[in-house]
Amino acid sequence: MKTIMNTVRSIARTFCRLAWSGLPLVMLHSVNAEIAPFVAVSSRVSADYVRTKTPAGVFEPEAFAFGEGGVWGGKMADASADKLNFKNVARTLAPVLRAQNYLPARDPAKTKLLIMVYWGMTAGTSGASSSVAYQNLSSANQQLNLASDKLKVALVNDRLSGTNDKFSAASEKDEADAIFAAAMTLADMENRERDRADLDNAGILGYDEALYETRGRERTALGGLRKDLIDELEDNRYFVVLMAYDFQLLNQEKKHKLLWETRFSIRERGNAFDRQLAEMSEAAARYFGQTTNGLRRHSLPTEHVRLDEMKILGEVPSS
C-alpha cells in the first residue's frame, strides 16, 4: 500500500499523468432494490474545513488529486470485488465528485485536496450461533439438564427406598457442571472475539459513532436500533472510504491534515461491488465535504418488471 507522502511525491513529479487528463468518465447503472435496500453513509468534517458558495448558491470549485490508498479489509475471495482496481474506482468516483464541484486538478500549485481512496469488503461475523463453540454449549446445556433431572429422581428414590443412586447421579451432575463451565468459557471467548471484530468493522464502515450512542441501551427504545446496527456490521459489506487531506500542507511541509472523510457501504449478500459502485457513490456524493451527523441510510433506485394481463390486439393477416 502506498503511503500518503509517496502519493504526494508521485503527484508532484508526474501531475498531469495522475490528474484526470485521459480517463473517460464511466457511469455504471444496475441495481435490484430487493437485494440492495440501502447504502450506509458516514461523513465527518474538520472544523478547519469550510466550503464557500458562489452568489449563485453553488459551492466554489476545489481542485483535487486522487491518491491510491488500496484495498482494506479481509482477504476473502469475491469475484465482483476482485475485478476492481484503483483506476476502476477512480473512474466511477470522478463524475460524482465533479457534481459536487470537486474538479480534477492539473496544476499542483492550485491543488487543494489529496483524496485518498480505499475500498474493499469487511468480513462479517454472522452465523456465530451455529459455530462449534455454540453447538458445544447447547450440547453441554442439554447434558447438564439431563444430569440435574437424574439427580432429582435419585434423591427422591433415596428418601423413599434408601437406594444409593444419588452418589452416582451427583458425580454425573458434577461432571456435567464442569463440561458446561468449559463450554461457557469458550462461548464467552468467541463472543469477545466477535465483539472486537464488530468494533473493527464499525470503525472501517463509519458505524462507530452510532454504535457508541446505543451502548448499554439494549432494553430501551434504542435497543432495536442497536440490534439493526449489529446485524448490518455482522454482514459482509462492500465499502469505499475517501479521506481528503490538505494537499499544499502535505506537499510543502510534509504535514498530514485530514479535512474530511466519507465512508459508505452496502451489504455483500445479493449484490455485486463492481456493478453497484456507481449507485453507492451517487448515494454518498451529497455528503462529500459535509457532515452526516451520524449514520445515514439511502435506498438505491428501484427497478421493477410488471406483467399485466395479456390482451389480444388483433390478428396478423397471412402472407
Are the beta carbons of 57 and 249 closer than 8 angstroms? no
Say if residue 255's pLDDT is above 90. Answer: yes
Cα–Cα dist 115/68, whole Å: 9
What's the pLDDT at 7?
A: 64
DSSP calls for 249-302:
HHHHH----EEEEEEEEEESTT--HHHHHHHHHHHHHTTTTS--SSEEEEEPPP
**pTM for the full predicted model:** 0.71
Helix ranges (H only) for 100-246 are 132-161, 165-205, 208-213, 223-233
Say if residue 285's pLDDT is above 60. Answer: yes
C-alpha closest to that of 81 among 286, 266, 296: 266
Cα–Cα dist 5/68, whole Å: 11
- Domain residue ranges in the chain: 4-123+236-299, 128-229
List, in sequence order, every residue forming a beta bridge with 68; answer none if it has no partner.
117
Q: Which residue has the higher pLDDT, 317 or 81?
A: 81
Say if residue 129's pLDDT is above 60. Answer: no
Of 25-39, 107-121, 139-153, 222-236, the least confident: 25-39
257-270: pLDDT as tens digits: 999 999 999 999 88
- What mean pLDDT do residues 59-88 have? 87
With bands split at pLDDT 50, 70 and 90, how would you rate the model's confidence at 20? very low
Of 144-148, 218-222, 225-229, 245-249, the least confident: 218-222
Cα–Cα dist 240/243, whole Å: 10
* SS3 (DSSP) at 240: strand
CATH, range 4-123+236-299: 3.30.160
Helices 223-233 and 165-205: crossing angle in degrees, nearest 10, is: 80
With bands split at pLDDT 50, 70 and 90, how would you rate the model's confidence at 115? very high
